[in-house]
C-alpha cells in the first residue's frame, strides 16, 4: 500500500516548523505552525517499516501538520547529506485518510542523516525518480510522478538534548 498526495501551487511563505525531542523515549516531533484546519479532526497516518520502525504523520484538513518519529529505523550516517532543491507547494492528502482516525501503511522504511545530525531523510520503499516539495519551512517530501510519497526530509533538526 502507498500514500498518494496531490500537489497544488502555493504562494507566500512556508509555515514554520517547531521541533521537540522527548528525552525519555527518543521520539522526535515536528509540528507545522498553521491556523488553517486547526479545528478539524486529526487523522494519523502511520508509516510502519518492516523492522518495526514507525513514522507518524498528523493530518488536518487534508494537510500534513506534524511528523513524529516514534520508533527509529536503522539510521545510516553520511558525511554529507544535501536536500534537493524544492519549491513550496500545498501537499493535499485526498480521501478517507485525511478525514480523521488512523490508517497504517506497511512500507520498507530507511533513514539517513548528515554527520552533525541536523538533516534527516526517511525513504519509503525502494529508490525511484522523485521530485522534492517543501510543505513547511523545514519539512519536505519526495513525490513520484504518480503522486506516491517516496520520502520525507526533516531539516534544521535541533540536537538531541543530552548532546548539549
Please give the Cα distance from 141 to 149 (Å, whole number): 7
Band the pLDDT of 164: cuts 50, 70, 90.
very low
The 3-state DSSP class for residue 164 equals coil
- Give me the residue label for grid cell 522527548: 22
- Gap between the Cα atoms of 12 and 17, Å rounded: 15
Name the least confident of 57-61, 73-77, 95-99.
95-99
pLDDT of residue 79: 93
Q: Is residue 138 part of a domain?
A: yes
pLDDT at 66: 95
CA of 127: how far to CAs of 21, 86, 110, 145, 149, in Å?
29, 18, 11, 13, 11
Q: Residue 133 is placed in which grid cell?
A: 516539495
Please give the residue that has the higher pLDDT: either 90 or 128.
90
- Amino acid 159: pLDDT: 93
Check: CB of residue 92 under 8 Å from CB of residue 63.
Answer: yes
State which residues form the domain around 121. Answer: 6-163
pLDDT higher for 13 or 128? Answer: 13
- Between CA 48 and CA 1 the distance in angstroms is 11
Decide if 58 is inside a domain.
Answer: yes
Name the domain count of the chain. 1
- DSSP label at residue 148: B
Assess if residue 109 is contained within a domain: yes
> How far, in Å, CA of 90 to CA of 77, rounded?
30
Residue 1 in domain:
no
Amino acid at each position: 500500500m502507498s500514500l498518494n498526495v496531490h500537489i497544488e501551487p502555493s504562494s507566500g511563505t512556508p509555515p514554520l516548523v517547531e521541533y521537540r525531542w522527548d528525552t525519555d523515549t527518543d521520539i522526535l516531533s515536528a509540528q507545522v505552525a498553521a491556523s488553517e484546519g486547526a479545528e478539524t479532526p486529526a487523522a494519523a497516518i502511520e508509516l510502519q517499516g518492516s523492522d518495526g520502525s514507525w513514522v507518524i504523520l498528523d493530518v488536518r484538513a487534508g494537510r500534513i501538520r506534524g511528523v513524529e518519529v516514534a520508533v527509529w529505523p536503522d539510521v545510516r550516517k553520511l558525511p554529507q547529506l544535501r536536500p534537493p532543491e524544492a519549491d513550496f507547494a500545498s501537499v493535499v492528502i485526498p480521501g478517507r485518510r485525511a478525514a480523521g482516525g488512523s490508517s497504517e501503511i506497511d512500507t520498507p522504511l530507511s533513514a539517513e542523516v548528515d554527520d552533525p545530525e541536523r538533516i534527516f531523510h526517511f525513504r519509503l520503499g525502494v529508490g525511484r525518480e522523485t521530485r522534492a516539495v517543501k510543505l513547511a519551512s523545514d519539512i519536505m517530501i519526495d513525490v513520484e510522478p504518480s503522486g506516491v510519497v517516496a520520502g520525507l526530509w526533516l531539516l534544521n533538526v535541533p540536537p538531541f538534548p543530552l548532546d548539549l
